[in-house]
Amino acid sequence: MALGDFWARLGGRGNGEEAKAAQRLILPAPPTADDLRAALDRTDTSMTDAGVPSVVVARVHRITAAIRDTIPRLDALGAGSPLAYSVMATATDYLPEAVGGYLRLPRRFADTRPVDAGKTSLMVLVDQLDLLGRTMDEVFDAVCRDDAIALVAHGRFLAEKFGPAGTPALTVGADVPIPPPPGSALTPPEAIQAPVGLASPEAIEAPAASANPLDLDTPPDPAGPR
């Protein structure tokens, strides 16, 4: 096949199937969720195996944790989303390259020798990790925002439907309101009434004194009481 025919086929002017096959050879498939997690695992492992300073380890773990939380929501962003691309590129390229460049240097050189405007390689790496961390946090917030907005809207709906200004108090039966529990802050003690059929302590009177009290010195009348 002539070179011109090859470029014609590659540009889509030849057979459509061959052009698609050529594009698949040039453009790799996007990484899957498992691919992203595997890349994050490799980065986390490199932190423990190389004796990296804690300031680096903490920042790398912040980034990988944010990406892990975002991965399940990448499909909701849609194909070609810039946010989804940022997450995939950070997991598979930006973060590993930043960490790898630092790890390839001897520790004493990387941590003590200024290389950029008075900053050591360690300081340069920390700046890059801070930028990636802020970016991944913003992406995670963005992909969760739709669900958060829906939750807020549902809360407002419930407040309008069941809130104090929306409907009257719930009732038992037809029109008997539910009273607050006795002794609660809503019911003062003096307003608590005794149950129906029982007299209150104040209403119970002592028995009246007899007009003719029994006199033990007077013998009883044999005829009985008159």
Q: Is residue 92 part of a domain?
A: yes
Same domain, 2 and 86: no
Q: Which tokens in the block code for residue 119? A: 């900053």
Decide if 171 is inside a domain: no
Given this model, what pLDDT does residue 180 score? 55
- Three-class DSSP category at 28: coil
Give the domain extent around 52.
31-162
In a domain, 157, yes or no: yes
59 in the same domain as 3: no
Same domain, yes or no, for 1 and 49?
no
- Clarify whether residues 22 and 84 are in a common domain: no
Structural domains of the chain, count: 2
Burial of 137 (0-12, 13-18, 19+ CB in 10 A): middle
190 secondary structure, DSSP code: G
Residue 149, amino acid? I
Q: Who wins on pLDDT, 134 or 163?
A: 134
Q: What's the whole-number mean pLDDT along residues 157-184? A: 59
For the segment 183-201, the average pLDDT, to the nearest whole number, is 50
User: Does 175 have pLDDT greater than 60?
Assistant: no
Q: State whether 23 and 110 are in the same domain.
A: no
**Mean pLDDT throughout 189-202?**
50
Question: Are both 35 and 25 inside the same structural domain?
Answer: no
Q: Which two tokens stand for residue 23?
A: 């594009």
Residues 66 and 140 in one domain: yes
- Of 124, 139, 162, at which residue does a domain stop? 162
Token readout for 47 is 């932190």
Is the residue at 210 inside a domain?
no
98 against 157, higher pLDDT = 98
Give the domain-ending residue among 117, 133, 162: 162
Q: How far apart are CA 16 and CA 12, in angstroms?
A: 6
pLDDT of residue 226: 53
What pLDDT, in 10s, does the model give residues 78-93?
Answer: 767 888 899 999 999 9
98 and 19 within one domain: no
Q: Do both 84 and 156 map to the same domain? A: yes
Rounded CA-CA distance 62/70 in Å is: 12
Of 52-56, 71-75, 101-105, 192-196, where does mean pLDDT reach its minimum?
A: 192-196
For residue 17, what pLDDT is reported? 65
- Does 154 reside within a domain? yes
**Same domain, yes or no: 23 and 124:** no
In a domain, 183, yes or no: no
Give the single-character DSSP code of 25. H
Statement to judge: residues 91 and 158 lie in one domain: yes
Q: Which residue has the tokens 């790799």?
A: 28
If asked whether residues 74 and 102 sit together in one domain, one would say yes
Q: Does 184 reside within a domain?
A: no
Indicate whether 185 belongs to any domain: no
Predicted local confidence at residue 174, as pLDDT? 47
